[in-house]
Amino acid sequence: MYGEMRTVEFSRIPPAPPPAPPPPPVRRGRRRLPWVLSGLLALLLLGGALYAVTPLRHPLPNPTVELTLPVSMTIPGTAPRLPWPRSGQAMISIDGLGTLGTSGGSKSLPIASVTKVMTAYVILTEHPLAVGAQGPKLTVSAEQAAAYPAEKARGESLVEVRAGEVITERQALQAVLLPSANNMARILAAWDAGSVAAFVEKMNATADRLGMSGTHYTDPSGLDPDTVSTARDQVVLASKAMALPAFAEIVEQKQATLPVAGTVKNYNELVGRNGVVGIKTGSTDEAGGCLVFAAVVNVGGRKLTIVGAVLGQPGADTPVQLDRVFAVTRSLLRSTVAALAVHTLVEAGEQVATVRGPLGTGTTINAAEKVDVVGWPGLQVRIDARIPAVPWRIAAGAEHGKLTVTAGGKPVGTALRTGTGMEPPSTWERIRHHR
């Protein structure tokens, strides 16, 4: 039938070995730069940082200031030409401004009763008077009174006196300065110094102290022609004397009343006209007509005192001599006043200085207001800009300093202000500028 059946024993077949585990995956690792290259890169980065930081380690330079105005200038225009006298000597000065001009040289000349300005000045400096005060009293001696007839016979300028007359210092000065009393000048001199000679020594010592190098006094009245001076010296003295309130008060009077002489008049007929406020006439054959004068005028709302001297004007006698010196003085005063004016030397907003800050920054310093001076063309003017150190940061329009303009001895000025604001450069600007 069918073939024979065989039984196969599978249990004897060994099991197959387990599969081997797969190999680990291959990872792509980062390739590291060699240590030399890494160090080089670090050095480069450090150098760049140091290069950028270097300008920041140094302080910013301080801003510098450069003035754009000159330190001095003259008032522009044609210098005035005054109508100086043809003979003698003259000088015009404006207190606080300086000398407007002179004529006739500097030779010492007789000055007649102009001498009494020094007599009164010495008396008032040694025996000061308040305005309106009478001061101490002095008594006319019998000898002084007895000299009056002979003095009158010589044609001297006098006031009548009597032995035993009591007169105050103020009244004695009125007698000396208004009717130009020679005898009262001598009486005052002896009262002050004990003798006329001793008083004359005081006069010359005072002249030396005031720098009146062309002046020499030999008597307190000026009758002696050896008493000499110059127009320049008398202007110096007049300015000093007019600074004494009692002196200025007396020479401005047109008349006064004295105990014995009664009412006396001022010989200076210019007083009270054209601003004239004094101060003293003089006339002798040797001196001619002489006048030292002061006038107060208004220029641009400002009061100025003109002081002048005119010496040696010719004439046959005192009336003619004084008429001529008065005429010369009136003409000089008119021309002087016409020459004086207000001049604007610095305009409001005008640049005074340039400020240069660090790395191209900067600003300007400008006048806050205009600066006007009173003067005349040709007058020398000094300009002084006081500008403190400018900080790196300052606002626009900030007040910073002061400008002073001095014409003669009188300063005027204005505040100074910055133009645009100024800021210090930023860190980036400093680094970029360093490149």
Closest C-alpha among 184, 241, 189, 183 to residue 212: 241
**Domain boundaries for CATH 3.40.710.10 within the chain:** 89-313
* Architecture category of domain 89-313 in CATH: 3-Layer(aba) Sandwich (3.40)
* Per-residue pLDDT, 109: 98
Residues 6+ apart with CB under 8 A from 279: 117, 177, 238, 241, 242, 247, 251, 268, 292, 293, 294
Angle at 190 (CA atoms; ends 217, 138), nearest 5 degrees: 135
* Per-residue pLDDT, 102: 96
**Domain boundaries for CATH 2.60.410 within the chain:** 64-76+344-434
CA–CA separation, 368 and 389 (whole Å): 18
* Per-residue pLDDT, 60: 67
* Per-residue pLDDT, 20: 62
Question: Which residues are catalytic, by number?
Answer: 113, 116, 180
* Per-residue pLDDT, 362: 86
Give yes or no for a contact between 377 and 77, defined as CB atoms under 8 angstroms apart. yes
Size of the chain in residues: 435
Q: What's the maximum distance between 2 C-alpha atoms anywhere in the chain?
A: 213
SS3 content of the chain, % helix, strand, coil (to 5): 30, 30, 40
* Architecture category of domain 64-76+344-434 in CATH: Sandwich (2.60)
The response to whether 265 counts as a known ligand-binding position is no
Mean pLDDT by 10 residues, the chain (435 residues): 39 54 57 57 51 55 86 89 96 94 97 98 98 96 97 95 97 98 98 98 98 98 98 98 98 97 97 96 97 95 94 95 97 96 92 85 92 92 91 90 86 92 71 55
Give yes or no for a contact between 166 and 135, defined as CB atoms under 8 angstroms apart. no
* Per-residue pLDDT, 28: 53
* Per-residue pLDDT, 36: 56
φ and ψ at residue 45, rounded to 5 degrees: -65, -40
End-to-end Cα separation, the chain, in angstroms: 114
Alpha helices in 282-426 (DSSP H): 318-339
* Per-residue pLDDT, 108: 98
Closest C-alpha among 329, 366, 328 to residue 346: 366
Alpha helices in 109-244 (DSSP H): 116-126, 142-146, 148-153, 169-177, 182-193, 196-209, 231-242
Strands of 22-136, DSSP E: 64-67, 72-74, 89-94, 98-103, 109-110
* Per-residue pLDDT, 312: 97
